[in-house]
Amino acid sequence: MASVTFDKATRLYPGGDKPAVDQLELEIHDGEFLVLVGPSGCGKSTSLRMLAGLEDVNGGAIRIGDRDVTHLPPKDRDIAMVFQNYALYPHMTVADNMGFALKIAGEDKATIRKKVEDAAKMLDLTQYLDRKPKALSGGQRQRVAMGRAIVRKPQVFLMDEPLSNLDAKLRVSTRTQIAALQRDLGITTVYVTHDQVEAMTMGDRVAVLKDGLLQQVDTPRNMYDRPANLFVAGFIGSPAMNLVEVPITDGGVKFGDSVVPVSREALSAAADAGDRTVTVGVRPEHFDVAETGGLTMVVNVVEELGADGYVYGSTATAEGSQDLVVRVGGRQVPEKGSSLHVVPRADEIHVFSTSSGERLSK
């Protein structure tokens, strides 16, 4: 097993004027499950392919353990990759697909069979070993691709959106299986996804990228509780955090008809930057429904989920209309078209600079 280090790693495609990955600095610990997440085009798959040796590194370095692998070919890096499209050989059986890399490496048939059977047992694939990929479901093919990586016992697993071809229910169960397997095997894993729910439920730590730049790397809980900037705040969480630009007033911020207290440090940092407003972030579950005060919200859509519900609505602000999402109890769901007064809980709000987007609240 080994740690992975991106040391100011940069990838600039020929003819491009802006790097796809811009001076990425990231330390992935030995045995850690790290998820790279971000919107399409943010550089997450490019980062993974740089680590795999499938993309050139134009600046900086990449290390696996204490080995500099920046310019090594993929076969010399001791990594195994699981692709989105499985990349199985259609003419080979499951057993031959899983053992192919070992066969190429010159291992004897008995050793290969033993390793393949051990991996198949782990992945509940024993009864499918003699089948061809076309006779398997999407979820089973994905497990074969996982098995092919496991038998090699690499130093690092690389997974590029491995669940995106599966249906929603299977994605959830396979997600759990991959996370449990990784913990059992203890192999350092770098996992790429655009799905932030996947990132939050699987990773020991999550790294968020935007436009090739690392925005924040932290545990899922810390990232949810303390997003570093407006982009991370709006990206992490489902439904997304409500972000409302509000004027600064004595003792806090003016939130509709209420004044919500905000830390003095946050307000003085905003004043130092010359901001007269701040952007307040409130998670849907951190609003209280009140009789009066706060923001008046017109209910547009209600999602009833049984235990609770999400109310989607809009409120009038100085800049125009602002969309809001509020979580309510499953037994107190308002009617569409009705009005709600919502007030954020003062100890659960996040304060960001409107000009720079950086977090101001501690």
pLDDT at 361: 81
User: Which H or E element spans position 155?
Assistant: none
Phi, psi of 50 (to 5 degrees): -65, -40
Q: Is the pLDDT of residue 81 over 70?
A: yes
Question: pLDDT-derived band of residue 291, with 50, 70 and 90 as boundaries?
Answer: confident
Q: Is pLDDT of 246 > 90? A: no
pLDDT at 112 over 70: yes
The answer for residues whose C-beta is within 8 angstroms of residue 266's C-beta and 6 or more apart is 278, 351, 360, 361, 362
Mean pLDDT value across residues 26-36: 96
pLDDT of residue 223: 95
* Distance, CA of 202 to CA of 193 (rounded, Å): 11
Helix (H, G, I), strand (E, B) or coil at 243: strand
Burial group, residue 298, by CB count within 10 angstroms (0-12, 13-18, 19+): middle
DSSP assignment of 160-195 equals: ESTTTTS-HHHHHHHHHHHHHHHHHHT-EEEEEES-
Q: Span 35-42, mean pLDDT?
A: 94
Most confident by average pLDDT, 52-66, 160-174, 304-318, 330-344? 52-66
Provide DSSP, 2-17.
Answer: --EEEEEEEE--TT-S
Q: What's the full length of the chain, in residues?
A: 362
The four Cα atoms 213, 217, 220, 226 give a dihedral, to 10 degrees, of -90
Per-residue pLDDT at 165: 82
* Per-residue pLDDT at 271: 82
16 contact partners, CB below 8 Å, separation of at least 6: none
pLDDT at 318: 64
Q: What is the mean pLDDT of residues 204-211?
A: 96
Q: Give the confidence band of 250 by pLDDT, cuts at 50, 70, 90.
A: confident
Residue 1: is its pLDDT beyond 80? no
Please give the pLDDT value at position 319: 66
Work out the burial of residue 72: count CB atoms within 10 Å of its CB; fewer than 13 is exposed, 13-18 middle, 19 or more buried: middle
State the Rg of the chain over Cα.
24
* Domains assigned to the chain: 4-234 (3.40.50.300), 240-353 (2.40.50.140)
